[in-house]
Structures are given as structure tokens and as C-alpha cells.
Amino acid sequence: MSLKLVFFPFAGRALPARLAFVIGNVPFVDERVPFDKWDSSDKDAFPAGSLPVLHITDDITGATTLVLSESQAIYRYAGHRAGLYPSGPTEIGRVEEVLKLVDDVFSSTDPIGLMRTFHLQGDALSSARKEFVAKTIPTFISRIEKLLVGPYTTGSTISISDVTLFCIVRLLMSGNLDHVPVDVLEAYPRCRGVCEGVFARPEVMAYFAKYPNEVNGA
């Protein structure tokens, strides 16, 4: 099977899958579509009219086996291929719970998810980000904090939920998000510990040496 992950030339919704493949030493084509090329492309050629998309091709026949369009599905597929998806029901349950909660931090509407703040400006941005810090983080990150066994989600073995958590923790602590202070995760040492564990892996460090602009998950 050959894998091609198509996304834009930034971290965003592709970083967890890129890192999963890197950590699992799974070869993949990391196609990065320039914005001007995307703007002029036929969106109907993409299942959801958006990116990321993961193409899986049979090496022998050259036939397309699967085209995945949703980042959450892509993370799970990447986790399986990379050996980052657990096999036991207890661990699966816990990893899925953390995956869902990380996604809630991004896209939940009640309280406000980070994605909804990205296109705001001025007072609207300030008030949405303040709500995000005051409500969303305590609601979802504190739940994740309680679930983590440590040093990773299920204990000593890294899982795909650790990779997605790493990406959001780096972004939240980056200082790149207006109105989100860099110490916003001070009260969540286990979440920060997962982040440190993922970041310390040689293959992850090598990835960020190649793509330094993605190191803060943006």
C-alpha cells in the first residue's frame, strides 16, 4: 500500500497524521498544496471539498484502495498503520476518549472551540478567546488531564491520542494565539508531560528540524 497525504504547507489538521507516520516509520508522500494552486483547483475532485485527504493505493495494481477525507478518520487510520492504535478494549476506550476531547478543544461550540475563533478580529476575537481560556480549556483539558495514566495516555506506550494532544498543547502554549497566555496549561502537568514525551522522540525532532515552522502546531 502506498500512502499520499495531501494538505497545505502548514501544520493544521495534517500534523497529527504526518507525525504518526514519522513516529511509526511508515513511508508516505507528504504532498503540500500551495494556496494559489488550491484556489484554482476543482474542489469537486476532493471528497469533502477540503483538506486533508489521504490516498491509499495498491502497489501492485496501482488501483486506489481508499480515499479518506476527514482528519479524524485519517488520524485513526494513521494510528493503525503506525502502530499507535492500541489493541486492547480498555486502551482503545481511553485513547478514543482523549481523541474526542482533543477534537472538542478545536471544534466544540459549547463552550467555544478554538477553530471558531480563527477568523474573528478585534473585540470579537478577544471575547471569544477569553471564553476559550476561561471555559473551554477547563472543561476539556481538565478532563483529559484526569484520564492520562502517564507518561502517555495509556501508560508507557505512545498512542495516536498522544500525538493529537501534543499538537494542541504545543499550539496553546506557543504564544502565537492572541489572548491565550503561554502559561495557559500550567495546571495540567500530565498534558504537558505527554507533549514533552512526544517532542523528545528523535524522529519527531528530526521532523521539526525539517519543518521548523510547524513546531508550534500551527
Ligand X SMILES: N[C@@H](CCC(=O)N[C@@H](CS)C(=O)NCC(=O)O)C(=O)O
The residues binding ligand X (CB under 6 A) are 12-13, 48, 50-52, 70-71
Q: What's the min distance (Å) between Cβ of 51 and ligand X?
A: 4
Q: What's the min distance (Å) between Cβ of 168 and ligand X?
A: 14
C-alpha angle 180-181-183 in degrees, rounded to nearest 5: 130
Q: What's the min distance (Å) between Cβ of 218 and ligand X?
A: 11
Cα(97)–Cα(100) distance, integer angstroms: 5
Task: Output 1 or 35, the one with its CB closest to ligand X.
Answer: 35
Task: Output 152 or 166, the one with its CB closest to ligand X.
Answer: 166
Q: Under 8 Å CB-to-CB from 35, ≥6 apart: which residues?
A: 8
- In terms of residues, how long is the chain? 218
Task: Output 24 or 52, the one with its CB closest to ligand X.
Answer: 52
C-alpha angle 106-107-108 in degrees, rounded to nearest 5: 115
Alpha carbon of 141 to those of 36, 99, 113, 153: distances in Å? Answer: 36, 12, 12, 13
Q: What's the min distance (Å) between Cβ of 197 and ligand X?
A: 25
- Looking at beta carbons, which residue is closest to ligand X? 50
Task: Output 14 or 95, the one with its CB closest to ligand X.
Answer: 14
Q: What's the min distance (Å) between Cβ of 106 and ligand X?
A: 9
Task: Output 21 or 152, the one with its CB closest to ligand X.
Answer: 21
Cα 131 from chain centroid?
22
Asked if residues 146 and 174 have their Cβ atoms less than 8 Å apart, the reply is no
Q: Which three cell numbers stand for residue 144?
A: 483529559
Task: Output 12 or 151, the one with its CB closest to ligand X.
Answer: 12
Which burial class, exposed, middle or buried, applies to 26 when counting CB atoms under 10 A from its CB (0-12, 13-18, 19+)? Answer: middle
Cα(136)–Cα(138) distance, integer angstroms: 6
Q: What's the min distance (Å) between Cβ of 71 and ligand X?
A: 4
